[in-house]
């Protein structure tokens, strides 16, 4: 266990020049800064050093206002070129609020969550825009227990940024900022300890590391466990993070699994909090399949409370019905791992996640963890003694599902798309046509300027038809 930090001796109460300056100058947007996963946007525009400094200061105020002992704030980052700038500015804001900062550098988002909880930190911060392109970046916070910072605390930080809050903690010492990269080893060790089997000998595995946060840890861990590893996009490269690779671009990984005759393939996103798998036939094993297979294993071991899985509105209907057919319960939430997390706590579930590869297992962590998920799926395959393709073939049959992203630059139109009567009429027509044979889901992305249109039905022709009709309606009336 890492010892708690020693708070520096108090000196003269620091002043905070520039705090609130962005609001005073009218440089903050009228729309909320905090979205579904912290603050995210183009680096160098709104998301610049000035904003990060003020965010750090106000976060320091809010994080200290907790009934927990004073500890450090853990900061981690992905490989984006702007991550150093934002991490440094954020640390300056936190230390100006009197807090100690432990900067672990390049690491997966779940590493920050784990270390925040294990070191008894006040909170954690990850500098990353997850699966977004290189020019984007983001700031996401974790509370002292390693879960995403709640909306009330985020609202208080934003109120301070907008000049609607007053510093409540005066006379504090300047905080300290230190680099603590060795702590990442504690996270890696915890992943190994969580595995039911730690011998991957005989397995050949391809890893697509997306030029991102998992480039150091993932190959090392799989090799340490005995696997033969072929690593793709395995350097920290801020110019290429997520570009035509990783969990949202699986073609290169699929080709490599075939080329090398691999047993498994895994693709992480830029901050490695999600993963998509590829079986030995180069078929995609998404979050629905992972939840089903891992859930079956936990159910057989009586480690799945109420045989309950938590998914989202994006989960495939074939998955849900197959899980219920074997006596399982299934609960859907809105899209976003924070909604899955909230439902898991509320309903006492141990396993939940998203089709996109965010998987949360409360037996081991309180954060979506792509590396942990990949390791456990590999252990499951090793224990079963059959291929991932065979496990998939004996799981469930997916309903045809098509997702179309329509770019809508106007944030106001994205937020109020439900008020568009023309789009609502087309949605009603599609739902009436499909009946109980399918589902329609239209939603605004919380992280990108997109309206997402998803159609799922027993007949592929109906899926294709209504996806095109709905996407065209969104384009004509919103984009």
pLDDT band at 18 (very low <50, low <70, confident <90, very high): low
Which positions are annotated as active-site residues?
A: 130
The span from the CA of 141 to the CA of 93, in Å, is 14
Taking residues 404-408, report their average pLDDT.
94
- The sign one gets for the Cα dihedral 218, 223, 225, 227 is positive
Choices 3.40.120.10, 3.40.1260.10, 1.10.10.10, 1.10.3720.10: CATH for 194-393: 3.40.120.10
**Does residue 9 have a pLDDT over 70?**
no
Angle of helix 287-300 relative to helix 370-384, nearest 10 degrees?
Answer: 60
Residue 144 DSSP class:
T
Determine the pLDDT at residue 12: 36
**CATH architecture of the domain with residue range 21-186:** 3-Layer(aba) Sandwich (3.40)
Determine the pLDDT at residue 448: 84
**Does residue 2 have a pLDDT over 70?**
no
Return the minimum-mean-pLDDT range out of 26-40, 65-79, 132-146, 272-286: 26-40
Determine the pLDDT at residue 31: 85
Same CATH fold assignment for domains 21-186 and 401-477: no
Determine the pLDDT at residue 3: 44
**Does residue 407 have a pLDDT over 60?**
yes
One-character DSSP codes across 229-244: EEEES-S--TTTTTTT
Contacts of 375 (CB under 8 A, 6+ apart): 191, 194, 195, 221, 222, 225
Torsion of CA 192, 195, 197, 199, to 10 degrees: -30
Segment (H or E) for 331: strand 329-333
Determine the pLDDT at residue 8: 38
Determine the pLDDT at residue 370: 98
Q: Which of 52, 92, 59 is nearest to 174 (CA)?
A: 92
Q: Which of 401, 397, 399 is nearest to 441 (CA)?
A: 401
Biggest CA-to-CA distance, the chain:
71
Contacts of 48 (CB under 8 A, 6+ apart): 85
Taking residues 53-79, report their average pLDDT.
93
The span from the CA of 19 to the CA of 54, in Å, is 6
- Could you tell me which CATH number the domain at 401-477 has? 3.30.310.50
Determine the pLDDT at residue 16: 54
Return the minimum-mean-pLDDT range out of 24-38, 181-195, 372-386: 24-38
The pLDDT tens digits for 311-365 are: 999 899 999 999 999 999 999 999 888 899 999 999 999 999 999 999 999 999 9
The pLDDT tens digits for 382-405 are: 999 999 999 999 999 999 989 999
Taking residues 44-52, report their average pLDDT.
93
pLDDT band at 411 (very low <50, low <70, confident <90, very high): confident
Determine the pLDDT at residue 10: 36
- Residue 329 CB-density burial (10 A; 0-12 exposed, 13-18 middle, 19+ buried): middle
**pTM tops 0.85, yes or no:** yes
Instruction: Compute the half-sphere exposure of residue 158: CA atoms within 13 Å on the CB side of its CA.
Output: 19
pLDDT band at 197 (very low <50, low <70, confident <90, very high): confident
pLDDT band at 11 (very low <50, low <70, confident <90, very high): very low
The pLDDT tens digits for 302-315 are: 999 999 999 999 89
Q: What percent of the chain stands above pLDDT 90?
A: 83
pLDDT band at 27 (very low <50, low <70, confident <90, very high): confident
Q: What residue ranges do the domains of the chain occupy?
A: 21-186, 194-393, 401-477
Contact yes or no for 165/19 (Cβ under 8 A): no
**Does residue 56 have a pLDDT over 80?**
yes
Taking residues 432-454, report their average pLDDT.
90
Determine the pLDDT at residue 168: 65
The span from the CA of 326 to the CA of 381, in Å, is 21
pLDDT band at 213 (very low <50, low <70, confident <90, very high): very high
Looking at the chain, how many residues does it have?
Answer: 479
Angle of helix 151-161 relative to helix 49-64, nearest 10 degrees?
Answer: 130
The pLDDT tens digits for 131-169 are: 999 999 999 999 999 999 999 999 999 999 998 877 765
The span from the CA of 55 to the CA of 87, in Å, is 11
């Amino acid at each position: 266990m890492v010892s708690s930090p020693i708070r520096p001796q108090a000196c003269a109460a620091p002043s905070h020049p520039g705090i609130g300056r962005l609001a005073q100058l009218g440089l903050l947007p009228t729309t909320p800064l905090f979205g579904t996963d912290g603050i995210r946007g183009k680096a160098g525009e709104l998301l610049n050093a000035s904003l990060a400094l003020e965010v750090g200061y106000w976060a320091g105020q809010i994080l200290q206002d907790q009934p927990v002992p004073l500890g450090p704030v853990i900061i981690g980052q992905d490989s984006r070129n702007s991550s150093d700038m934002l991490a440094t500015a954020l640390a300056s804001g936190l230390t100006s609020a009197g807090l100690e900062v432990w900067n672990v550098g390049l690491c997966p988002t779940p590493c920050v969550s784990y270390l925040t909880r294990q070191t008894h930190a006040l909170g954690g911060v990850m500098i990353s825009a997850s699966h977004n392109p290189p020019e984007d970046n983001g700031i996401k916070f974790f509370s002292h227990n390693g879960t995403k910072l709640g909306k009330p605390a985020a609202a208080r930080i934003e109120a301070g940024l907008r000049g609607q809050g007053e510093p409540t903690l005066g006379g504090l010492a300047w905080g300290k900022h230190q680099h603590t990269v060795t702590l990442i080893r504690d996270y890696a060790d915890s992943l190994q300890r969580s595995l039911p089997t730690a011998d991957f000998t005989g397995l050949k595995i391809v890893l697509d590391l997306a030029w991102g946060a998992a480039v150091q840890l993932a190959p090392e861990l799989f090799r340490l466990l005995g696997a033969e590893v072929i690593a793709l996009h395995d350097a920290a490269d801020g110019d290429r993070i997520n570009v035509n690779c990783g969990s949202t671009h699986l073609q290169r990984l699929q080709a490599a699994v075939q080329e090398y005759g691999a047993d498994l393939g895994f693709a992480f996103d830029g901050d490695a909090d999600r993963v998509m798998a590829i079986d030995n036939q180069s078929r995609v094993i998404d979050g629905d399949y992972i939840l089903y297979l891992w859930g079956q294993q936990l159910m057989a071991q009586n480690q799945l409370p109420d045989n309950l899985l938590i998914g989202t509105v994006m989960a495939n209907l074939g998955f849900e019905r197959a899980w219920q057919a074997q006596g399982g319960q299934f609960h859907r939430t809105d899209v976003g791992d924070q909604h899955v997390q909230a439902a898991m706590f509320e309903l006492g579930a141990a396993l939940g996640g998203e089709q996109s590869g965010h998987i949360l297992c409360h037996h081991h962590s309180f954060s979506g963890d792509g590396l942990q998920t990949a390791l456990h799926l590999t252990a499951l395959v090793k224990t079963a003694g059959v291929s991932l393709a065979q496990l998939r073939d004996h799981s469930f049959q997916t309903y045809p599902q098509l997702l179309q992203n329509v770019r809508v630059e106007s944030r106001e139109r994205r937020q109020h798309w439900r008020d568009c009567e023309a789009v609502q009429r087309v949605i009603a027509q599609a739902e009436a046509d499909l009946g109980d044979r399918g589902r329609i889901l239209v939603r605004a992305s919380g992280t990108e300027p997109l309206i997402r249109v998803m159609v799922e039905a027993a007949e592929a022709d109906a899926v294709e038809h209504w996806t095109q009709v709905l996407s065209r309606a969104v384009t004509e009336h919103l984009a």
